[in-house]
Every structure is written in C-alpha cells, then in structure tokens.
Amino acid sequence: MTDSPITALFNTNGYEIPVLAGVAIGATESGFIGVGVDSSGVARFLSVSAGGVLNVAMSGVATETTLSGLSGKFGSLGQKDMAGSAPVVIASDQSAVPVSCASLPLTSGEATGNTLSALNGKVGTGVKVSASSTSVVLASDALYLPVRVYEPATFTALIAGVSITANASLASIVNTGSKVIRIQEVYVSNVVFSPQVGVVGAFMIRRITGHSSGSAVSLIETMDSADALDSGITVRTGATVSGQSSSVLKRALFNTSSWDKVLTTTSLNHSMEIYFPLFTKTEGGKAIVLRANEGMTLNFESSGSSGTYDIHVIFTQE
C-alpha cells in the first residue's frame, strides 16, 4: 500500500498499480478503481460522472433550486410584490426612522383636513349662526338655565300737532334699507282744548311702497342709546305716498257729534279724546312687518278737516 493518505489505483485483482502523475491511462486498461480515505482513515470509493466530473456529496450545501429561489427574491433591483419578496423584521432596538410623504393616506372613515376644518368652524369661539353650529341636547338632569329674552332695537316716533287734512296721510314710515321693521303700536291723541263737534271720519292704516314731500319727522328716539336707526328708515307727515294698498290693515271710526270740550273730566268718557291705541300687537300675533321697500301710512279718510292730534308710533328694527 502506498504511503499516500489520499488515493491509490488497484486493478480488478486487487493489486496496486503504480501510476505516474499526469500520465493518461490507456483506453484498453480496465479495473482501475479510485479510492479515497476519509478523515477517519476509512477507504471510500470515488464516483465520477459520465463526463469525467467527480461527484461530491456534501451535507447542508445549497442546491441550484434553492439558489434559484433566492435569486428570484434578491436577484434584480427594484420593488417587488409580497409573493416575490423575502420577509424581514425590524430590530427591537431600531432607532426612529424619519418618514416623509406628500399626503397622508387615510383609511375609510378617518377624518380629513377638510372635515376637521369644518368641525372647528362649528365648535370654535363666539356666537355662530345655526348653519355653522353643532347641535346639542341638554341632559335630562340639567339645572335650570337662565334665559334672556331677545330685545331688538326699539324706537318711538312722535308726530306732534298734526292737523287733520281730508283724505291725506297724517304719518307714514318707509323702509328702503336692509333691516326689517316691525310696527308694534300706533297711538292717536287729541290735543285740542276747544270743542270739536261734527267731525266724522276714519283713521286707516294701509301699506305703501314709498313716500315723498311733506315734512320729515325728527322726533325719533331709541329705547337704548346703544341702538342706531338705520339710514334707510324714514318717517314723514303730510307726505305724498305711492303704492298705497286698497286693503286696510287697521280702521278706527271717528265721530265727535256728541262731544263737548276736550281734556275735561267729562271727556274721559271717550277714550279717543285722551289716548287711543289705533294698533297694538297682540300676544301671539304679528306686528306690522315692513321689509325692504315697504311702508305704512296712517290716513284720515273723510271730508272733514277739523282737529289736531299727536301720533305716536313704536317700532322695532332687526
């Protein structure tokens, strides 16, 4: 046996045959068997493929199939879908990773910036109109809440010493502004100290659309000094009215045939001789509403022309 720990050649009879390195073995030679010795000194036959390639069996070495699968996951550059990618896990001690994106992707049901902005407009500070507010409901066990009754700007217009003129406008008010006027009360007061006998007629309140000429009324006062009368609201006496309605809002018949002197104890028997409420808004009823380009006139509709009166109009502005 040769001293080589690696290989030796034997013929079919089991005799060792010397072979020089690099010398071809004849094609007619037979019975040559390659033998190797493993690390434990045990003889092992060597296997050669038909092409002359030594076959080597290795435990745990990756196969071509395994390498091909890995190549499909790591071979080419660029993004892959999940099925063609290798799973990874971030280390438990991974530091913060900065993230930048043009817009935040939201799943269904999550709030957007527009939604939050609209909500902020409803629950912000200050008083809001109904359309910009969030509806709420008071708890069933809530305490009583103090309520302040809404008080619109209120004004009084006094047309003093108006002499009756047959079939004429004694007082008129027109709204050409953007506010809404509500006539709450209209009073007529007799201010004559001499007998007024035989005056027959009717005080009539009608709608109009405009007035001109006559005299502008300056005795207009506010109930609250913080309120200001809109410049589009004008009050006149003896005006020429336009757009007068044929319908009547309020009528009060007037007859002095049985009167004696005015402003005496006896005259208290006739309310018209002192202070007569020609119109008063009733509980649950509406005032006389004057919107933009609407007005009201108080006429004395008769052929009579005797008597002097104060006319007092109370109205609100909203």
Distance CA(318)–CA(316), nearest Å, equals 7
DSSP-derived 3-state class of residue 113:
helix
Distance CA(37)–CA(3), nearest Å, equals 12
The whole-number pLDDT of residue 311 equals 93
pLDDT of 213 > 80? The answer is yes
Return the higher-pLDDT residue of 38 and 26. Answer: 38
Distance CA(251)–CA(204), nearest Å, equals 5
Q: What region, left, alpha or beta, does residue 240 occupy, with left being phi > 0 and alpha being psi -120 to 50 degrees?
A: beta
Over residues 242-279, the pLDDT tens digits come to 999 999 999 887 765 555 444 454 544 444 455 678 89
Are 300 and 163 in contact by the 8 Å Cβ rule? The answer is: no
Pairing of β 43-45 and β 47-48: unpaired
Q: How confident is the model at residue 2 (pLDDT cuts 50, 70, 90)?
A: very low
Over residues 187-196, the pLDDT tens digits come to 988 776 666 6
Over residues 46-62, the pLDDT tens digits come to 666 666 676 676 666 77
> What is the separation of C-alpha 213 from the centre of its chain, rounded to a whole number of angstroms?
48
Short-list 295, 155, 294, CA closest to 228: 155
Tell me the pLDDT of the chain averaged across its residues.
77
Short-list 199, 309, 161, 192, CA closest to 262: 192
Give me 125's structure tokens.
Answer: 């500070």
The amino acid that residue 113 corresponds to is: G
Beta bridge partners of 252: 203
Distance CA(258)–CA(78), nearest Å, equals 112
Give me 155's structure tokens.
Answer: 């004004």
Beta bridge partners of 8: 35
Query: Average pLDDT for residues 143-164, to the nearest whole number?
Result: 87
Distance CA(188)–CA(202), nearest Å, equals 12
Give the least confident one: 232-241, 268-277, 279-288: 268-277
Would you say the pTM of this structure is higher than 0.95? no
Query: Average pLDDT for residues 208-226, to the nearest whole number?
Result: 94
The whole-number pLDDT of residue 152 equals 94
Structural Rg of the chain based on CA atoms? 57
Short-list 229, 216, 207, CA closest to 154: 229
Over residues 73-113, the pLDDT tens digits come to 665 777 778 777 777 888 889 898 888 777 766 667 676 77
Short-list 9, 29, 6, 31, CA closest to 19: 9
The whole-number pLDDT of residue 3 equals 43
Give me 301's structure tokens.
Answer: 């509709």
Q: What region, left, alpha or beta, does residue 165 occupy, with left being phi > 0 and alpha being psi -120 to 50 degrees?
A: beta
Helix (H) or strand (E) holding 114, with range, is: helix 113-122
